[in-house]
Amino acid sequence: MSTLSDVSNALAETVAQAGAGIVRVEGRRRLAASGIVWSADGVIITANHVVRRDEQIQIGLPDGQTVTAAVVGRDPSTDTAVLRAETGDLTPYVEATKDEMGVGHLALALGRPGRTVQATLGIISALGDAWRTSWGGQIDRYLQTDVVMYPGFSGGPLVNANGRLLGMNTSGLSRGVSLAVPAATLSRVAESLLAHGRMKRGYLGVSTQRARLPHALRDTLGQKSGLLIVSVEPDSPAETGGLTMGDTIVSIGDTAVRHHDDLLAELTGSHIGTAVPVKIVRGGQAQTVEVMVGERPS
């Protein structure tokens, strides 16, 4: 009995200490949501889907005060928004290390949809590799828990038993599964949004659909499918580079392109303004053209 009591007291202490890094976010007409203190000078990270306006967002601080905030930038593809609150001396989280994140480890989902901290306990039920959301956002690691996501928990922190940050709770990435945006993804997205106000993503200006390659080329290219270009936007990088409707993209650089996700994975912000070799099949023959990657319009 004493062991259970010790565990209970330890978890309660973790929640009490972690509460200093959780804020209430009033950015929509209905229920308030939660936010994560990202830096002491007022930077807050929350879920994009809970912030329906850009200005005059109300932030409920851990000490009970209410201040206003504005959106610095959004990345709907990872359901992440960065706010800047008119305050300072906040308490940011310490990010958990890889050794502190494993299947079976305890996880606490925390929220502050009201004045006080709320918590629910579970375990990390699945960890996987990087994955891409249905909106094209790159998530550094698949992080699934069995915690119950109560109303208003979106945007709040997922922490381990030591109170270190594992990620951000969100109900905006998948229905019926408790997923969290890992801290590594939050860090990468926040860095870009704070620097540019947006996520910079590469852009070719083509619409594609998956297509099977001719049998004669499958062995030569080492793949069975590519992406058939069904339209090319006027004055786009693709048109300037010589891509046309009916071409089938089979690789960019050294990376084979078999699915739409393969194409998105290569159009990162780091490639903007650089010429990349795009291998295509045109008229039954494989050839390579160079295309200058542009920046995806907002």
Q: Express each pLDDT in 10-68 by its tens digit.
A: 999 999 999 999 999 999 988 999 999 999 999 999 999 999 999 999 999 999 999 99
Instruction: Yes or no: say if 264 and 136 are a contact pair by the CB < 8 Å rule.
Output: yes
d(CA 138, CA 202): 13
pTM: predicted TM-score of the whole model, two decimal places: 0.82
Number of residues assigned to the chain: 298
- Helix, strand, or coil here: 86? coil
d(CA 181, CA 168): 5
Name the helix (H) or strand (E) containing 228.
strand 225-232
Percentage of the chain surpassing pLDDT 90?
Answer: 79
Burial class of residue 262, CB neighbours in 10 A (0-12, 13-18, 19+): middle
**Of 34, 77, 154, 251, which one is the catalytic site residue?**
154
154 in active site? yes
**CA distances for 183 relative to 28, 99, 139, angstroms:** 24, 14, 10
Q: 């936007």: which residue's tokens?
A: 233
The model's pLDDT over 217-268, given as tens digits with 9 standing for 90+, comes to: 998 899 999 999 999 999 999 999 999 999 999 999 989 999 888 888 888 8
271 in active site? no
The residues near 81 (Cβ < 8 Å, ≥ 6 apart) are: 45, 46, 47, 48, 51, 71, 73, 74, 75
**Of 34, 75, 79, 178, which one is the catalytic site residue?**
79
Question: Considering the chain, what is the average pLDDT of its residues?
Answer: 93
**Nearest 5°: CA angle at 70, between 64 and 76?**
110
225 in active site? no
**Of 49, 75, 247, 251, which one is the catalytic site residue?**
49
Question: All domains of the chain, ordered by start, with CATH?
Answer: 2-85 (2.40.10.10), 98-182 (2.40.10.10), 202-295 (2.30.42.10)
